[in-house]
Structure 1
Amino acid sequence: MSCPRFLSGAIAVAAVSLLTSACTTGSNPSVDGGGAGGARGGGTVRLALTSDVTTFDPIKQRAASDYVVGRLMYETLVGQDDDGTIVPRIAAKWHQSPTGVTFTLKKGVTCSDGKPLTASQVAASLTRYRTSSAGAAMTFGPGNTGAGTTITGDDKAGTVSVRLAAPWGELLPGLANTTTGVVCSPGLSAGDRLGTGAVGGAGTGPYELVGSERGSTYELKLREGFDAWPRYAAMPAGRPAGTLKVSVVKNESTLANQLQTGAVDFGAFTGPDAARFGRGGFTIAAAPLIRNFVAFNQREGHPGADPEIRRAVAQAIDARAFNRVFGDTGQVMTSYVDARALCVSTDASLLTKTDPAAAKKVLDGVKIELVGSNAVAQGAGNTYVQEALRAAGADVKLTNADNGTWATRVTGNQGDWDLTVFPMIYGQLARGGVHFIGEEPAKGRNFGAVDNKAFLAGYGAATTTVDQNAKCAAWQKAQKALLHANDVVPLATVNVHYVFRAGISAATPAGAFDPATLRIAE
């Protein structure tokens, strides 16, 4: 066995962070390029995820490990590159209008049983997503639910058409999300079995699940003749791995030890262990992938339902101190996305000023259930928030949960939490903003039950106009409403550090690792 080669999976946290590792083993038969054409794979790459897979059904994904494995098993119509550029995946080309898009599929794309993928199957899969996924509003727009959207497939022409009742400018980015991964007919008729990963012929992605021991290990094999690779501007050279072996490793320090000893060849880190790889043959790429903010459970009976308590929490917390927890390497935020986002508010005067003395007058004795993900630096940011609130007199119980448990408790429909440090990987106002509008889980993404009518109005105006000035003006009003109500308390970004050995590479569009682009050097 040789272990000089990599792989990862940090697609971010909480909504999303996943940290992975890898090494190669076995023979490496020659293959043709990997980035285009039906590349044949060779060799094995070993990955480690920081949390277990919760489901193999793409429309039910909620944890970072789900997104990584889902991206390997189910291909989307399009992908999203740096700067928001939409790139082909299953679709070869498309024509977009404000109220819809028509895709022309690549020729020769198959399901994982080798049968042709038809346009009608794609339409059926997207219809299932539209009618069953909590994230459908993020893709199609809140005004296009129910009969407001029609999706049809023309098998003869090889085209899939999506038609909306109301204009929505975020359709293509939404269809790049892994939750829209196309499921073939065997999976569409499998019901709950699809979530177990045991449905043959359901997949459309480059890899097929061939072995599974929940909570421990997974094995995926490259599908022969797969030819729907994404077309990112910076596609790596080399061949795809023939086999991916995935294990669950929940501690970054353990992962770093394995990387240093040669047991794995790639690691993704959000904590201080990344500093161990400043030299010695490792390459480090850093990306501000995680945007952190405090969010509240605003359901009746929870302290976050009281706007005065939300304001006091904002007064107790200092975003600059939060950033120092991570070595002052991030960017203090002034909204729920970072300053690189189009139309983001950078007006710091809209933020509630830190004032611990004022916070103590409200928070003294208030009981708060703080639930956070430990996937970001083992939950160091969560601990800071706990201590800041305790200093203001609150009685804070902190649960530093693994990312899967955090996602289930906070973004699921349990509601048994009061406050969370939300580590969001979305860098766009529209995609992130869907967490503050619409229905609660499981029907929607509004996990905190936020009811901010001014934000909803601004969100609607911003996402339905094609005039850029009007769009940004609407976004400014929307963000002002959200910040004024302290529905979110912006904190700071946290960098993900991807650490590589020589020999393996992958694309990280917009700072997010795409496991389907893993390539082993010739």
Structure 2
Amino acid sequence: MKKVAALACLAMFASACGGGTAQAPSARPVAGGTFTYAIPADPGLLDPATAVMSVTNTVLGFAYDTLVSADRDGRTVPGLAEKWEVKPDSVTFTMRKDVTCSDGSKLTAADVAQNVNHIADPASKSPIYGVLLPPGMKATSDDAAGTVTLSTDKPFAFILQSARDLYIVCGKAVKDRSLIARATSGSGPYVLSESMPSDHYTFTRRKDYTWAPGGAKTEGMPDKLVLKIVPNEQTSANLLISGGLNAAVFYGADRTRLEATPGLLKKSPMAGNGQFFYHQGEDRPTKDPAVRKALTQALNLKELAGIASSGTGRPATGLVMEPRPCKGDTVTGHVPAFDAAAAVAGLEAAGWKAGPDGVRVKDGKRLTLRYLYSSTRGAGVQAAAEYVAAAWKSVGAEVKLNGVLDTKMSESLNATQDWDVVWLPIGVSLPSQLEGFLSGPAAPKGANFAHLDNARYTELIAQAKLKPGEEGCKLWLEAESALFDNSDLVPVTENTVLVAGKGATFDLVATVLIPTSIRLTEGG
């Protein structure tokens, strides 16, 4: 299903809002110049309506704006819209009057409405529909009044916040999306001026850009940005140290080396959650909540977190990325503690008896678990899979590890359904973005790939969706905890990465650079 493909990409590549602590160089900013940033892969098609990978959205973020944005505390601040009026089933934005597209045309309310309706149109086959854009949303506009209204057919809790994620296309590309396959047509601070797929992308600063989100200052920004494709982190680290790059993101072994290197700007933002799901299809041993609880008790989740994150993670406190619209720890006290003896007793009580070779058997069926994970997400995820297999073997389960490429994860999750447990990181900014994956029709008919059927979760989110913003937060938090109470999925760690810079300063939204914050520094 298309939505499962979107989740797989969002889970493994996307990031939501959040900053990070920094060790900043003392050199003074220098206006203009060229800032060079490493990205790990080619971004592919540059149409925002098709963008689900973070590398694509990183590139798009330099050329496109959103209606509203979020500050460091998660509060909504003006973007293309200067003000808004929220109702339970709609939000009306009043647009700024001074915004122009990179081709010189004026951004209109009709342009914004067309962006939303294009994504919602089934013919567009947009993978962000129902994920970043709420299901059933439509848009109307009034150019004379300078307003655009986004509405849903029933109340939607985060109807305002969902607008933070929608990049707005303008100019001729509003009607002809083929124009932005390898180009940009937005109102953002930069415009793509050179596209060399699999090598680099060069952006040129728009000197007329004065409508930065939240009123951010634009004086002194680099005149050019070069996004250089560097798939190998060791190469990126060497280039950064030697001055061939101004910034890059590091997940693996080179992170330690750079953290010990003096004179670098260093930030460690949250970059996705690490957890695993149990498949609850009719023929699965993990359909039984007693089995899920026992298998969870067999794992020392603190040790597993350290292994999966290579020692750089934080204790898991929820499913949504920081800064969360609903503050609170939904994990503590809702996940069974490590207790190998209780795990054995639980499996025995559930009818799984030890067989002659040590593997438990019930009704003639062996306790065999197929564990699915991405083989391209680093040594920590691989080591975590092996740790889980050993722990479950010690309590009588047979575990078959199945590492697949990121590009095959969606097919394995949904089409073949050949798994019992899946390690699947999540990166979403709103709890509502998870509803279709954690409830509703099961795969392959729906996006509920793990066949979850948690009545308490469903009941709570049905109530939460009707309450705007913070009013429903208590219900959203309780809904997450209900998933953990039932061992539907098990949160393990909140991953972090190192974003390092040299000869420049910048701020972040998760691992994504905020364009208006970039400044070159003396000696850069």
Range of TM-score over shorter length = 0.7 to 0.9
Q: Which moved more, 1:353-362 or 1:150-159?
A: 353-362
Q: CA deviation at 1:367?
A: 5.2
* Preserved contact between residue 68 and residue 515 of structure 1 (Cα < 8 Å): no
Specify the alignment match of 1:170 in structure 2. Answer: 158
Taking the TM superposition and a 5 Å limit, the aligned residue runs for 1:247-326 are 247-276=228-257, 277-296=259-278, 310-311=292-293, 313-325=295-307, 326=309
C-alpha spacing 1:470/1:49, structure 2 compared with 1 (3 Å): closer
Q: Which of the residues 8, 13, 16 maps onto 2:14? A: 16
Specify the alignment match of 1:513 in structure 2. Answer: 512
Taking the TM superposition and a 5 Å limit, the aligned residue runs for 1:174-185 are 174-177=162-165, 180-184=166-170
Q: Which of the residues 206, 210, 213 maps onto 1:223? A: 206
* Preserved contact between residue 369 and residue 421 of structure 2 (Cα < 8 Å): no
* Preserved contact between residue 140 and residue 168 of structure 1 (Cα < 8 Å): no
Q: CA deviation at 1:519?
A: 2.0
Structure 1 residues 466-509: Cα deviation after superposition (integer angstroms, max 9, x where no partner): 5967641x2354224322443211101122222222x4222224
Local SS of the residue matching 1:116:
coil
Taking the TM superposition and a 5 Å limit, the aligned residue runs for 1:391-430 are 391=391, 392=393, 393-399=397-403, 401=405, 405=407, 409=411, 419-426=421-428, 428-430=430-432
* Preserved contact between residue 218 and residue 516 of structure 2 (Cα < 8 Å): no
Specify the alignment match of 1:455 in structure 2. Answer: 457
Q: CA deviation at 1:289?
A: 3.5
| CA distance in 1: counterparts of 2:321 and 2:225, whole angstroms | 34
Taking the TM superposition and a 5 Å limit, the aligned residue runs for 1:34-183 are 42-132=32-122, 133-138=126-131, 141=134, 145=136, 149-177=137-165, 180-183=166-169
Residue 475, structure 1, aligned to residue 476, structure 2: yes
* Preserved contact between residue 14 and residue 407 of structure 1 (Cα < 8 Å): no
Corresponding letter in the other structure for 1:79: S
Corresponding letter in the other structure for 2:403: T
* Preserved contact between residue 122 and residue 160 of structure 1 (Cα < 8 Å): yes
Structure 1 residues 397-438: Cα deviation after superposition (integer angstroms, max 9, x where no partner): 343646xx3675578878676543333333553345554245
Specify the alignment match of 1:204 in structure 2. Answer: 187
Cα RMSD (Å):
3.8
Corresponding letter in the other structure for 1:217: H
Specify the alignment match of 2:493 in structure 1. Answer: 492
* Preserved contact between residue 47 and residue 180 of structure 2 (Cα < 8 Å): yes
Q: CA deviation at 1:86?
A: 0.9
* Preserved contact between residue 123 and residue 151 of structure 1 (Cα < 8 Å): yes
Corresponding letter in the other structure for 2:389: L
| CA distance in 1: counterparts of 2:202 and 2:446, whole angstroms | 32
C-alpha spacing 1:296/1:219, structure 2 compared with 1 (3 Å): farther
Structure 1 residues 53-111: Cα deviation after superposition (integer angstroms, max 9, x where no partner): 24322222221102211222332111112221112221122222333221121223222
C-alpha spacing 1:498/1:485, structure 2 compared with 1 (3 Å): same
Q: Which of the residues 180, 186, 195 maps onto 2:172? A: 186
Q: Which moved more, 1:492-501 or 1:349-358?
A: 349-358
Local SS of the residue matching 2:424:
strand
Structure 1 residues 167-186: Cα deviation after superposition (integer angstroms, max 9, x where no partner): 22212221101xx2112363
| CA distance in 1: counterparts of 2:127 and 2:149, whole angstroms | 22
C-alpha spacing 1:371/1:229, structure 2 compared with 1 (3 Å): same
| CA distance in 2: counterparts of 1:415 and 1:73, whole angstroms | 39
Local SS of the residue matching 1:166:
coil
| CA distance in 2: counterparts of 1:307 and 1:459, whole angstroms | 21
C-alpha spacing 1:514/1:415, structure 2 compared with 1 (3 Å): farther
Residue 342, structure 1, aligned to residue 327, structure 2: yes
C-alpha spacing 1:467/1:93, structure 2 compared with 1 (3 Å): closer
Local SS of the residue matching 1:203:
coil
| CA distance in 2: counterparts of 1:74 and 1:154, whole angstroms | 22
| CA distance in 1: counterparts of 2:179 and 2:251, whole angstroms | 32
* Preserved contact between residue 134 and residue 442 of structure 1 (Cα < 8 Å): no
| CA distance in 1: counterparts of 2:443 and 2:452, whole angstroms | 12
Residues matched between the structures, number: 473
C-alpha spacing 1:71/1:59, structure 2 compared with 1 (3 Å): same
| CA distance in 2: counterparts of 1:108 and 1:237, whole angstroms | 16
* Preserved contact between residue 49 and residue 250 of structure 1 (Cα < 8 Å): yes
Local SS of the residue matching 1:259:
helix
| CA distance in 2: counterparts of 1:413 and 1:219, whole angstroms | 39
* Preserved contact between residue 101 and residue 187 of structure 2 (Cα < 8 Å): yes
Local SS of the residue matching 1:112:
coil
Taking the TM superposition and a 5 Å limit, the aligned residue runs for 1:352-391 are 353=338, 355=340, 357=344, 361=360, 366=368, 368-372=370-374, 374-375=376-377, 378-391=378-391
| CA distance in 2: counterparts of 1:104 and 1:60, whole angstroms | 26
Structure 1 residues 370-393: Cα deviation after superposition (integer angstroms, max 9, x where no partner): 232745xx2413421333224424
Corresponding letter in the other structure for 2:432: A
Local SS of the residue matching 1:464:
coil
Corresponding letter in the other structure for 2:490: V
* Preserved contact between residue 211 and residue 219 of structure 1 (Cα < 8 Å): yes
Local SS of the residue matching 1:14:
helix
Local SS of the residue matching 1:231:
helix
Q: CA deviation at 1:439?
A: 6.3
Q: CA deviation at 1:337?
A: 4.2
| CA distance in 1: counterparts of 2:208 and 2:227, whole angstroms | 23
Local SS of the residue matching 2:480:
helix
C-alpha spacing 1:410/1:72, structure 2 compared with 1 (3 Å): farther
Q: Which runs of 5+ in 2 are unaligned?
A: 1-8, 17-28, 348-358
Q: Which moved more, 1:80-89 or 1:439-448?
A: 439-448
User: How does the TM-score come out when normalised to structure 2?
Assistant: 0.77
| CA distance in 1: counterparts of 2:51 and 2:374, whole angstroms | 18
| CA distance in 2: counterparts of 1:183 and 1:414, whole angstroms | 36
C-alpha spacing 1:169/1:446, structure 2 compared with 1 (3 Å): same
- Percent identity, aligned pairs only, is 25
| CA distance in 1: counterparts of 2:286 and 2:42, whole angstroms | 30
